Amino acid sequence: MTSALPYVCPVCRTAFATQDGFYCTGCHARYPVLRGMPVLCPAPYRHLGEEALRIVEYRQSSPAHGTAVDDICDRMTDAISPLLTVRSVLATAAARSAGKTRNPYSAVQSLHYLRRDWSGTPECEEEVQDVTQAALKALDSTGGERSRILLLGAGAGRFASVLSPHFTSTHAMELSVPMGLLRDFLRDGPLHFTVLDRRNRRSEADLRQQHTASNLGVDLDSVAWTIADALHCPYPDGYFSAVASLYFSDVVPPSRLLPEVNRILAPGGTFVHVGPLGYQFDRPADDHWPAERWPVEVEKYGLRAVYTDWVRSTHHVDGSSMFTSLVDNFVLACEKPV
């Protein structure tokens, strides 16, 4: 069950008076809606333009993926194009020529996540269940409310859907437009695609293995989805009883992420992290915290660590690959004091 969410402007945090176009009366910014998903990040039209260019580049650089992937890319481009203006396209081109468009936190491979989340293969389902069960156990450790939860960096959306039955209201945010669109396309039926990877393959046939993603019987409307930046959350202060970061806390600098987590958490609320600590960003080494340092560091941002654990899981396992990745996931639950 999903209730209406009072979004706020991610730039000035003024509450929207209407959801018709998401016009901010505070800073006069306007935010588009993409297939029912509000695009609530700073400079949203430029972000859409950048994502559209990445889709074109991906398609041009990977022609061997075949017509199925071409069709998916066409659908993405068709969805984004009506929202782009000449001004936004020019702004994107100018930023790219200045070398400013590469999002350092957005090195995602959307089709790999689509396969992991929605193909339903035994190895993928095992990873999904291992991670979400670890998150639920961590949430139980605090005894906090299970009213509203937000999943940060929600990817292709499966983790949010698994958590949804355990909360009154479930919300997810993801900055990657392709991730959000792939999940939304599942409403229209299965997606057929190829993930082309020449590494660790046993045979030529394995190089072009076909995959099918479907909604797996999940009610996609059980999650309120927003395209947004976790460092500029478009939610009011103290709105969520829980915030979950599954495979995401190492994608952005924790010293910038945790202040936002604290802001949107209600007093007595719970923050849960599950995942490795690979730190996929270029920042000073001081932002690369080892696991044992997290319980100490979170206190600087108004949180108190109450639970830690380790859960080993596979990661993006493909049955046709000679290589299997095992991850020791660090599990942490923190409480925002009342």
pLDDT digits (tens, 9 = 90+) for 164-180: 999 999 999 999 999 99
**Cα end-to-end span (Å), the chain:** 27
CA neighbor of 150 nearest in space, from 239, 29, 50, 48: 239
Per mean pLDDT, which range of 90-94, 205-209, 254-258 is the poorest? 90-94
Whether residue 5 is predicted with pLDDT greater than 70 in this model: the reply is: no
What pLDDT, on the 0 to 100 scale, is given for residue 145?
A: 85
Residue 77 lies in a domain: yes
Alpha carbon 16 to its chain centroid, in Å, reads 23
Residue 14 lies in a domain: no
Alpha carbon 278 to its chain centroid, in Å, reads 16
Whether residue 22 is predicted with pLDDT greater than 80 in this model: the reply is: yes
Parent domain of 74? 42-97
Mean pLDDT (the chain, rounded) = 87
Whether residue 29 is predicted with pLDDT greater than 80 in this model: the reply is: yes
CA distance 239 to 148: 8
What pLDDT, on the 0 to 100 scale, is given for residue 105?
A: 38
Q: Which of 97, 126, 144 is the last residue of a domain?
A: 97
Query: In total, how many domains does the chain have?
Result: 2
Mean pLDDT confidence for 110-116 = 89
Same domain? For 235 and 291 the reply is yes
Return the CATH number at 185: 3.40.50.150
What pLDDT, on the 0 to 100 scale, is given for residue 284?
A: 65
- Reported as a single tens digit per residue, the pLDDT across 33-84 is 999 999 999 999 999 998 998 888 877 776 656 667 888 989 999 999 999 9
Per mean pLDDT, which range of 11-15, 18-22, 71-75, 178-182 is the poorest? 18-22
Residue 88 lies in a domain: yes
Whether residue 286 is predicted with pLDDT greater than 80 in this model: the reply is: no
CA distances to 6, 262, 266 from 238, in Å: 12, 8, 4
Same domain? For 83 and 164 the reply is no
Mean pLDDT confidence for 259-276 = 97
Whether residue 108 is predicted with pLDDT greater than 60 in this model: the reply is: no
Same domain? For 114 and 251 the reply is yes
Whether residue 219 is predicted with pLDDT greater than 90 in this model: the reply is: yes
Q: What is the token pair recorded at 48?
A: 């859409």
Position with higher pLDDT, 3 vs 14? 14
